[in-house]
Structure 1
Amino acid sequence: MSHLSHKDRDSNYRRLFADELRLAEAAKQAAEDRSLSQAELYPLHQELAAQYDKLLKTTIKLSRISDIQGKTLKEQEEAIQTANDNLKRLEKLRQQLIADISHELGTPMVAVQGYVKALLDGVIQPEEKYLRLIYDRVLTVNHLIKDLFLLSTYQANRNHFDHQQIDIDAFILSVEDKYAPECERSGIELEVFKGVDGSGSAQEEMIVWADPVRLDQVFENLVQNAIKFTGAGGSIQLTSEFQPKYEGARLGHWFVKISDTGLGISEEDIAHVFERFFRSKEAKARGIQGTGLGLAITKEIIQKHGGEIGVTSAPDEGTTFFFLIPAELIDKCENAQSKILGGL
């Protein structure tokens, strides 16, 4: 009844008090019919019926007010319950975060402490392999602290983004040049596809307004993930294309898809891949290193650019990460002229 109109609610209340209203109307009618024969008694009866009618109407109004107040109280109760649930969830996340930080920082620091103590006690000699182990553990801690700070500033909206006009074809070419040598060394084939879904004519180019440093970090996280989880003989496919809002439109989205033929992710883990400190069971089982913050940072960067990110995967069938960022097509000649004029 909370979604009914005022007229519908009034009809419901009148149905609810139908008998009382009928009796009141009958009493009034009886008083009018007999007032001519018993002048002294029936005027009082008529007044009584009128007062009873007013009482019924007042009762209907009070019932309506009670219904509205009940609805308001229920909404307030639901809002309080939602806020309470959110507070409990945040507190649980805070406790989990502290536990995760303690564990992630504690593990490498315990190793560093053990090696340094062994060196001081003369149990081991200051050989390069031990110094290298200590150095690697310290680097792990530094990376963890840096990623935590970066993620916190993103989530608190305290990180400045330097949005610039980026030529996507040139940007993707730089990504290919950057990661092709590493893929080759790892025995992984890197394939890059551009403009598959109608990126316009040869006279047009796709651009986005974005922070190039942050975008570079997105590809660093996604491509490096693909390399880590794909063995020699596997492949990585990077697809970059323009998806118009409707056919022929010059406004739309830059769609990027990075697929690998690696380990894949279980259905149970898929829902958690963008959570901070999350590492899949496959990664832990195979001893693949990582802080578990890269994908959480990637998601924040994409969202700060007004985009969305997602993932599909299955164990032993590879993984595909994809994201969308607002983009547009522009004329190459006009863009070149504007760059020349801007440089004068």
Structure 2
Amino acid sequence: MNDAQADMDVASGIAKHTHVSVSGCEAVPENLAASEGRSLLAPRRVDSFTSKLSSPSSPVFTQEHKGAVMNYKGDPIQIGQQITQILLNSPDPETVLLKIADVLGKSFQADTCLISSVASHQATPQTVVWCADDHTSLAGNLSEIRSKLWMLLNPLLEDNLSNSEPLAISDIHAIETRFDVEDPVRAVLVIQTQFQSQANGLIVIGRWQPFEWTDVEKGLLKAVADSVAIAISQVQLQRQLRIATQYQTLINQLTMAIRSAIEVNQILQMAIAGTAQALEVERGFILLLKYVDPLFKTRSLTKALPKAKVTVACEYNTGEQAAISEPGSALEESFADNISSEQTSSINPLSSTLPSSFLLSDCYLCQQAFQKAPEPVIITDKQDITTSNGFDLFDLETMPALLMVPLESQGTVLGFLVLQHRQPRSWQSEELELVKWVSAQASTAIIQHQSIRVRQDLVEERTAQLQRSLEVQAKLYDKMRQQVEQLRQLNQIKDEFINAINHELKTPLTTMSVAIRMLRQAELPTERRAKYLEILDQQCTQEINLITDLLTLQKVESKKSPIELQKIDLKQVIQNLAEPFAKKWADKGLTLEIDSPTRSLMLQTDSDSLNRILEELLTNAGKFSEPDSIVSLRATHQVSQQVNQIVLCLTNTGACISPTEVEHIFEKFRRGQVAIQNAVQGTGLGLALVKSLVQHINGAIALTSCPIEDTQSCETCFTLTLPLVFDLTKI
């Protein structure tokens, strides 16, 4: 038997003589809170005893023992005054009875003194024990000794303790021989305290040795019993007021928290911590359920237990703050889809013996709570339970008293609010009402958070959809804008091409038409006739070359142009082109400088394509070079482990080419702004044909245009890279 059971036994013994209901008690020193129902949570109207305690209370003595009492060392009037002062000066009602026990123990020159209050409508029992200073070494075993003592005293109290007379036992061992000789309590003097004709407590004076209690001591104990009864009643009233205030504070805090829509984990933390503190229990925690079957809605749909996972959402231990899962963890996720989604959880590592999660089928108490919902599971003492399945989850050996209230919403069990205490205790009806109310508020908070989370998820989903739609529209708009810009550029190129073709076709034809008319003149001199014939030949050749360029470009792009590979000397090819271009450039004052190795530069390639590339590049350089400038052509042979190639660099000085034009310079019919502004002849096909022919012979070409310092001119360089040996696999 433990301390609390002993207290319950003695309280039951007192109640049987006075018809007072005893529902529970606690061991030394336990501060238990009484409970009020939802409608009873406001403090009841009680009459204050301060006015009665403003002056020392004087116990009433009969004439037959008054003189004897006055000759005894303890003065009942002085004891009454001390009790009154303790009541008036003690700010904490929990220490009042212990101080009174100290006064009584010293006044009776006893070894120990016990004062116990009886459970009332709103106050749970309280038991305190005082031990003399010279016997403090026995205090460690006092709880066990008291438990054995109550096992003996309980039947004696039922038979011998009257409503007003004390019970004196000079030697317990003489009455009962089942106690060991080491048990220190041998003699006891017991009296029941009464207030307003009802028993409200018990006073026990004890000695370690057998002792004959005198009538004087009995009279003194009887004389001070009224003062102690008043003190017990006052302490109970103060505890009732404090407990009712705690209840109301908890209710107000939860109500405001839910209205303020704060985070649900904070509401649950507040609920479990506030409830555990108000009921003065050792531990509390909230369990949440996750159903494997998302369509499972109500318990009434099936008699079988559903497959569900139980997770610990938050936990409270005496002296520690409530431990809660972090935001974004399984607790936060479980509220978003408490009934129909996956849920996992973790708790802060307090002193809890609970796992972070377990199956509903693994816990007998959870199964019972689920099946009994909406009614709570109430365990006063673990000894009341016949099975031990799943008890290790709640550590009932350490916490034998348990209250498990379901969290429900429209018939669906969301979880459980669990309270545990280190000592056996009866759960008062007012306490049950409070815990049920808190559970209802916690369920409301969970459902409210779930609804908000669902709406938030829906809003986020719709927002994401809208964002994606806007992004798609933006991409489509950007694509359309690019296409419009491309169409505009193509249209501009088309216009420029038409203009160029018109000029390139119409001008030679016009010239040829004039020459033909002149040749028809009969009296035309021979010299003039020869000149007109030469003009006809030049213009006809120009038209043929234009058509040839178009056809060649079309063949190369369609990859229908054949490749005739042969070994050629690049130095010789360059020399063959140098003389004709030197004559063409003579009028403009251009000079061609050639820089090449002294040895031959032999390579395998298509001779016609290479010649056409060099002709177009030199022609282009002649058109856009400044007068009296130098056109440089440098040839080098690059050999390494990775490459074996010939690099040609054709450089001239002229107008700058913008970076934008550089990007598009090799496109068909593309003419630079300089060519357009200066009316330079051309169709825009030359460089496009060069790029196609270079790719045709597995080469590469690039263009740079770099400003020359202190001038408005740029150095333009075409870099042509040709493989020394043609790779047939790249055709």
TM-score, reference length from structure 2: 0.34
Matched, 1:214 2:609: yes
Alpha-carbon deviation of 1:136? Answer: 3.6
Matched, 1:25 2:265: yes
- Which consecutive unaligned segments of at least 5 residues does structure 2 have? 1-258, 276-404, 406-431, 726-731
Alpha-carbon deviation of 1:224? Answer: 2.7
Equivalent residue number for residue 80 of structure 1: 476
Query: Which structure has more helix as a fraction of its residues?
Result: 1
Aligned 8 A contact 1:250 1:328 in 2 = no
Summarize the alignment of residues 241-252 of structure 1 with structure 2, pairs less than 5 Å apart: 241-242=636-637, 249-251=641-643
Q: State the AA in 1 paired with 2:594.
A: E
Aligned 8 A contact 1:309 1:324 in 2 = yes
CA displacement 1:302-340 (0-9 Å, x = unmatched): 4564734113256885743233547579xxxxxxxxxxx
Alpha-carbon deviation of 1:301? Answer: 3.8
Equivalent residue number for residue 190 of structure 1: 593
Q: Which has the higher contact order (CA 8 A, sep 6+)?
A: 1
1:92 pairs with 485, 488, 504, which one? Answer: 488
Q: 1:207 to 1:55 in 2, by over 3 A?
A: farther
Q: State the AA in 2 paired with 1:147.
A: D
Alpha-carbon deviation of 1:257? Answer: 0.9
In our comparison, the structure showing a higher alpha carbon Rg is 2
Q: State the AA in 2 paired with 1:55.
A: S
Q: 1:68 to 1:215 in 2, by over 3 A?
A: farther
Alpha-carbon deviation of 1:163? Answer: 6.7
How many angstroms apart in 2 are the aligned matches of 1:118 and 1:213? 33
Matched, 1:144 2:546: yes
How many angstroms apart in 2 are the aligned matches of 1:165 and 1:37? 102
How many angstroms apart in 2 are the aligned matches of 1:23 and 1:214? 78
Matched, 1:177 2:575: yes
How many angstroms apart in 1 are the aligned matches of 2:699 and 2:659? 26
Q: State the AA in 1 paired with 2:578.
A: A
User: What SS class does the counterpart of residue 250 from structure 1 fall into?
Assistant: coil
**Once the two structures are aligned, what percentage of the paired residues are identical?**
16
How many angstroms apart in 1 are the aligned matches of 2:447 and 2:656? 74
User: What SS class does the counterpart of residue 38 from structure 1 fall into?
Assistant: helix
- Which consecutive unaligned segments of at least 5 residues does structure 1 have? 1-18, 196-201, 330-344
Summarize the alignment of residues 1-344 of structure 1 with structure 2, pairs less than 5 Å apart: 22-32=262-272, 33-34=274-275, 36-66=432-462, 68-111=464-507, 112-113=509-510, 116=513, 127-151=529-553, 157-160=557-560, 170-185=568-583, 186=585, 188-194=591-597, 212-229=607-624, 234-242=629-637, 249-251=641-643, 254-260=646-652, 264-267=654-657, 271=661, 273-275=665-667, 276-278=669-671, 281=674, 285=678, 289-302=681-694, 305=698, 307-312=700-705, 319-323=715-719, 325=721, 327=723
Alpha-carbon deviation of 1:80? Answer: 1.0
CA displacement 1:161-204 (0-9 Å, x = unmatched): 6678887xx54223223213224545534312349xxxxxx9xx
Q: 1:160 to 1:67 in 2, by over 3 A?
A: farther
User: What SS class does the counterpart of residue 596 from structure 2 fall into?
Assistant: strand
Equivalent residue number for residue 337 of structure 1: none
Q: State the AA in 2 paired with 1:28.
A: L
Aligned 8 A contact 1:243 1:252 in 2 = yes
Alpha-carbon deviation of 1:43? Answer: 2.9
TM-score, reference length from structure 1: 0.64
Aligned 8 A contact 2:632 2:651 in 1 = yes
Q: State the AA in 2 paired with 1:158.
A: S
Q: 1:130 to 1:328 in 2, by over 3 A?
A: closer
Alpha-carbon deviation of 1:85? Answer: 2.2
Equivalent residue number for residue 332 of structure 1: none
Equivalent residue number for residue 339 of structure 1: none
Aligned 8 A contact 1:242 1:254 in 2 = yes
Aligned 8 A contact 2:564 2:606 in 1 = yes
Aligned 8 A contact 2:592 2:633 in 1 = no
Further displaced range: 223-232 or 294-303: 223-232
Alpha-carbon deviation of 1:31? Answer: 4.2
